[in-house]
Amino acid sequence: MLKKYLYKLYIGGLTLPWILSLIIISWKRDKLRINTALCGLPYSFAFRIRFYHAAVTDLLKFLHGRYGEAIVSRSRDAAKLQALRTGPSLYLTAHFHNWELMGAWMTREGIPLLSGAQPMANPLSQALLLWFRRRLGMRVVFKAVPRNAVRHLKAGSCFALLWDQRAVGSPISAPLFGHNLPVDPIPHFLVSHVTVPVFFGALLPGGQLRLIQIANPNRASDPYRHLARRYHRVLELLVRAHPNLWYGLAHGRFQNHVESKGPTHVSRETSVPSGVMVSRETKERRVVGLSEAKDEAEEDVARSRRASGVGRRAKNPKESTT
């Protein structure tokens, strides 16, 4: 009873979140400003307040272990939830809203969920995070993630992964908000070893779980060909609808991998900016084009030198008099 009262007073009443959001108003401000500009999202002081308030509220709810509202799913997603419960599946999500409590709810709903994550740099923070996750009944692996994930999938269970993290040096990339960004290759490694349906999931404001199947091995000969592109497309639509709930804006997702210097118009269908190509072939063609232009410039210089006599070997005086 006391915990419920404290929740309503400090979290449900929005008293503590507003105070804390004003305290951390400058936390990662520059990165937030740059990332919102790269995504073509509106940035203002009001947006910063909403972003930090949502982040603090979701953190307090996670620490408290209660979302505060009933988490529900759409009736049309009943078959997808059943597939997550009864068979092997890959569940991809993002740093969106309260993904931790979403995973805890899925575990309580009978989904044999195992998550893979990167350990935090601070040992104390990592230990606290593990304690809170265990309290919620969540299972997370930090070492030998591909091996543990394959074993879990082959056992007929569900493996979950946050796929919006920075992936330096990955050979797999897909466009997001007009920027070709590398993605973690683990999902592609998993589906190359185990044939499973792939779902994108996120918890919307108000407690509604949204499930979207982005790969169905029963309906296509090569269902995983555009997996990263489909994931980014759904994530982009989700972020455009709720920009202050994607905490990836405070991460280094776009760092060192930005191909354009500012926001561009992005197609809702392909997530590729109009007039911009982001494939590897396009990059190679650009390099070839630059080398060809350099060769043509050198030929022009040599031609002009020959016409003006610069650099031409002087004639022998004896030859000129004979």
CB-CB contact of 48 with 25 (8 Å)? yes
Residue 279 lies in a domain: no
Residue 294 lies in a domain: no
Helix axes 45-64 and 15-23, enclosed angle (nearest 10): 120
**Which residues constitute the domain of residue 58?**
2-250
136: left (phi over 0), alpha (psi -120 to 50) or beta: alpha
Measure the CA–CA gap between 46 and 50, rounded to whole angstroms: 6
* Residue 310 pLDDT greater than 50, yes or no: no
Residue 76 lies in a domain: yes
Residue 45: its H or E element:
helix 45-64
Rounded to an integer, the average pLDDT of 208-227 is: 89
Q: What is the pLDDT of residue 319?
A: 39
**Lowest-pLDDT choice from 5-19, 104-118, 178-192, 216-230:** 5-19
Residue 265 lies in a domain: no
Residue 286 lies in a domain: no
Q: What is the pLDDT of residue 218?
A: 85
Which residues contact residue 62 at a Cβ distance below 8 angstroms, ignoring those fewer than 6 apart? 98, 100, 101, 132
Q: Which residue has the tokens 């569940």?
A: 91
**The pairing of beta strand 198-203 with beta strand 113-116:** unpaired
Rounded to an integer, the average pLDDT of 89-108 is: 96
Percent of the chain with pLDDT over 70: 71
CB-CB contact of 90 with 80 (8 Å)? no
How many residues can be counted in the chain? Answer: 322
Q: What is the pLDDT of residue 283?
A: 33
For the chain, what is the radius of gyration of the CA atoms? 27
Query: Whole-number mean pLDDT of the chain?
Result: 79
Question: With bands split at pLDDT 50, 70 and 90, how would you rate the model's confidence at 282?
Answer: very low
Q: What is the pLDDT of residue 106?
A: 97
DSSP character at residue 96? B
Percent of the chain with pLDDT over 90: 55
Residue 206 lies in a domain: yes
Question: With bands split at pLDDT 50, 70 and 90, how would you rate the model's confidence at 168?
Answer: confident
Residue 171 lies in a domain: yes
224 vs 20, more confident: 224
Residue 190 lies in a domain: yes
**The pairing of beta strand 173-176 with beta strand 89-93:** unpaired
pTM: 0.75
- Give exposure, 197-213, as e/b (b: 16+ Cβ within 10 Å): bbbbbbbbeebebbbbb
Number of domains in the chain: 1
N-to-C CA span, the chain: 118
DSSP character at residue 55? H
